[in-house]
């Protein structure tokens, strides 16, 4: 009798086998949010990335950037930097879900914040910074999206299947699809069954043409809050994908050329 966990990995393996049968590679990408400085959990995250040769896109909060992060990432070329809003502050109006890039803040001021953040990351990370915006809480007003290319962005990343590849001219959207954290339980794990089911659902929808096959399947992590169960799942997933010939990783520089 197989455990639920063993069965779940088997199901994921079957889905990847189906990709192999069609001669296609199932591409994945990995985003981690809320980085500001180095520390034990970032060490652990970057260690996993290197151990499994999985490129990591680190969404950094510009206004809270600690100079030590610049040194830390200097020679770690598997890691790219994306822009996580500006200050990760909530400007939602009453009754609205949390968001920084919109809400009660005039869009002109939001653009100024984003420009400032962009300059900080470009100055410190040079070409390791990819001009891709990751809106805090994965939310942003459409008005702001339409002005992102004025600042220099060429991409955006939020959550779940994208509605369009290009929500504004020159702005390629590639989202994350699996967030294994259960946010109602302080960084706990959503569980192996649900996590694998979300991955299979996205992969199957791509493979069968029900969803956009060109949007790589995105894994989202939160190194500062996720608990041990999430860390273990992440390591198992990285190991599993590295062992399956139909699975491959895309780095942010390849996605957003």
Give the binding site for Zn ion (CB under 5 A): 33-34, 136
Tokens of 87: 């200050």
Taking the complex as a whole, the smallest distance from the CB of residue 79 to Zn ion amounts, in Å, to 17
Tokens of 170: 């020159």
Q: Which is nearer to Zn ion, 49 or 221 (CB)?
A: 221
Q: Which is nearer to Zn ion, 27 or 34 (CB)?
A: 34
Give the CA count within 13 Å in the CB-facing half-sphere of 137: 17
Taking the complex as a whole, the smallest distance from the CB of residue 200 to Zn ion amounts, in Å, to 26
Q: Closest Cα partner for 56 from 216, 234, 255, 250?
A: 250
Q: Which is nearer to Zn ion, 26 or 181 (CB)?
A: 181
Taking the complex as a whole, the smallest distance from the CB of residue 136 to Zn ion amounts, in Å, to 4
Taking the complex as a whole, the smallest distance from the CB of residue 59 to Zn ion amounts, in Å, to 7
Q: Closest Cα partner for 175 from 247, 112, 255?
A: 255
Taking the complex as a whole, the smallest distance from the CB of residue 173 to Zn ion amounts, in Å, to 17
Q: Which residues are within 8 A (CB) of 14 and not within 5 positions of it... i.e. 6 or more apart?
A: none
Alpha carbon of 152 to those of 116, 146, 257: distances in Å? 12, 12, 13
Q: Which is nearer to Zn ion, 117 or 136 (CB)?
A: 136
Beta strands in the chain (DSSP E): 26-35, 56-60, 79-83, 129-133, 155-156, 172-173, 181-182, 188-189, 217-221, 247-249
Q: Which is nearer to Zn ion, 34 or 113 (CB)?
A: 34
């Amino acid at each position: 009798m197989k455990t639920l966990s063993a069965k779940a990995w088997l199901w994921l393996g079957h889905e990847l086998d189906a990709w192999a049968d069609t001669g296609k590679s199932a591409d994945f990408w990995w985003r981690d949010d809320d980085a500001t400085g180095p520390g034990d959990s970032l060490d652990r995250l970057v260690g996993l990335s290197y151990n499994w040769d999985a490129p990591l896109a680190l969404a950094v909060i510009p206004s809270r950037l600690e100079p030590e992060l610049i040194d830390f990432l200097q020679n770690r070329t598997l890691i790219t930097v994306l822009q996580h809003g500006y200050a990760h502050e909530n400007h939602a109006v009453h009754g609205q879900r949390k968001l920084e890039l919109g809400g009660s803040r005039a869009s002109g001021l939001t653009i100024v914040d984003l420009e400032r953040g962009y300059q900080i990351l470009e100055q410190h990370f040079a070409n390791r910074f990819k001009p891709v915006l990751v809106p805090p809480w994965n939310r942003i007003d459409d008005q702001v999206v339409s002005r992102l290319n004025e600042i220099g962005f060429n991409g955006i990343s939020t959550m779940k299947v994208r509605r369009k590849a290009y929500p504004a001219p020159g702005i390629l959207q590639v989202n994350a699809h699996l967030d294994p954290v259960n946010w109602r339980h302080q960084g706990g794990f959503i569980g192996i069954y649900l996590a694998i089911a979300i991955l299979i659902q996205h992969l199957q929808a791509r493979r069968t043409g029900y969803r956009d096959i060109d949007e790589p399947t995105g894994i989202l992590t939160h190194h500062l809050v996720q608990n041990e169960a999430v860390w273990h799942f992440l390591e198992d997933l990285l190991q599993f994908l590295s062992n399956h010939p139909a699975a491959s990783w895309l780095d942010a520089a390849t996605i957003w050329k």
